[in-house]
Amino acid sequence: MKSYERELNQLIDLYKKGDVKSIFGDEFANIVINGRKVIGINEIPGIKIKTNDIEDGIHVNVSIAEGVHINNPIHLCFGMTPAEGRQVIDSEFHVGEGAYAKFLSHCIFPNAKHIEHVMKSTVVLAKDAGMEYKEEHYHSESGGIVVIPELTAYLGENSRLIEEFKMLKGRAGNIDIKYLTEQDSNSSCQLLAKISGKKDDKIVIDETINLNGINASGISKSRVVLLDEATGIINSRVIAKEAYTRGHVDCEEIVGGEKVVAESVPRIKVMHPLAKVTHEASIGRIDKTKLETLMARAIEMIINGLMR
C-alpha cells in the first residue's frame, strides 16, 4: 500500500475520534476543519493561515511568502463526521513571486447520508510561482452526499499549477466540478480528475482553460469509471488567445453497466494563427474477458499466499 494511502486511512480513523494532532509533526503546516469548527492550525515559517466563520462554514486564507519553497506538503483536512449537514469552505490561496508549495487535501465524510460540501477556491499565483494541489475524497457507501468544488485560478507570468481531484473510496454521490483558469504568458496548468461512480452516482466535470498570454499552456485530463446506473458528463474547454499557446483536452470514460449514461464534450477554440490546441475523448466498456482474466489471477495469488 502506498504511503499516502496508509496516511489517509490513519487520518480517517483519527478524524472520526477527533484526534488529528498526532498524525502531523511540527514541521508540517496544516489546517483541520470538521463541519463548521476549526480543530487545528499549524503555521511554519513562510506560511500565513487565517480563518474566520461564515454562514455554514469557514473562510480560509493561505499565503506563501515571496521566494519561499515549502519542502513538506501542506496538509488540509476538511470534512464532517455527522451523517447530515452542510459545509462551506471558502478558500483563498496566494503564492508569492518565485514561491512554491504543495498541498495534500483530505476530504472525509465517513458517515454521510445527507451531506452537502461546497468548496469555493480562489488561487492567485504571482510571477514564477508554483503550486500543486491534490485533493482526495473519502465518502461513505450511502451515496447521500453532494460535493461542489469550484475553482478560479489566476496564473501570473511563468507560473505553474497542478490541480488533481480524486474520488475512489466509497460512493461518489453527486459531484459537480467547476474549474476555470486565467493564464498569463509562459504559465502552465494541469487539471486532473480521477473519479469512480457506481449505483446512481452522478459526476459532472466542467472545466475551462483560458490561455491569455503568449506561450501559455494547459491540459485538462479526466478519467471517470461508471458502474451500474451511474452518470458521467464531462465538458472541457481550452481557449487559446495568443501566439504559441498550447492546449490539450483528454477525456476518457469507462462504463461497466447496462444503464450507465456517459457523455463527453471536448471543446477547443483558437484565436491566433500560431496557437495549437488538440483534443481526444473516448467512452469504452470494461472488457469482460480481461476482467475474468484479472479475477482468475487474483484467486491464484490468494491461493499461493495461503499455501506459503
pLDDT tens digits, one per residue of 69-83: 998 999 998 988 888
Residues 6+ apart with CB under 8 A from 215: 185, 186, 242, 243, 244, 245
Using one digit for the tens of pLDDT, what is the confidence trace for 51-65? Answer: 999 999 999 999 999
Rounded Cα distance between 47 and 195, Å, is: 31
Rounded Cα distance between 78 and 94, Å, is: 19
* Cβ contact 15:77 at 8 Å: yes
- What pTM was estimated for this model as a whole? 0.87
pLDDT confidence of residue 45: 94
pLDDT confidence of residue 1: 39
* Cβ contact 119:89 at 8 Å: yes
Task: State the average pLDDT over residues 145-163.
Answer: 97
Residue 10 to residues 25, 31, 37, Cα–Cα distance (Å): 14, 17, 21
Question: How many other β-carbons are positioned within 10 Å of the β-carbon of residue 26?
Answer: 7
pLDDT confidence of residue 306: 54
What confidence tier does 6 reach under pLDDT thresholds 50, 70, 90?
low
What confidence tier does 9 reach under pLDDT thresholds 50, 70, 90?
low
Task: State the average pLDDT over residues 11-27.
Answer: 59
Question: How many other β-carbons are positioned within 10 Å of the β-carbon of residue 69?
Answer: 12
Using one digit for the tens of pLDDT, what is the confidence trace for 182-229? Answer: 999 999 999 999 999 999 999 999 999 999 999 999 999 999 999 889
The full set of domain ranges for the chain reads 3-307
Residues 6+ apart with CB under 8 A from 300: none
* pLDDT reading at 233 higher than 80: yes
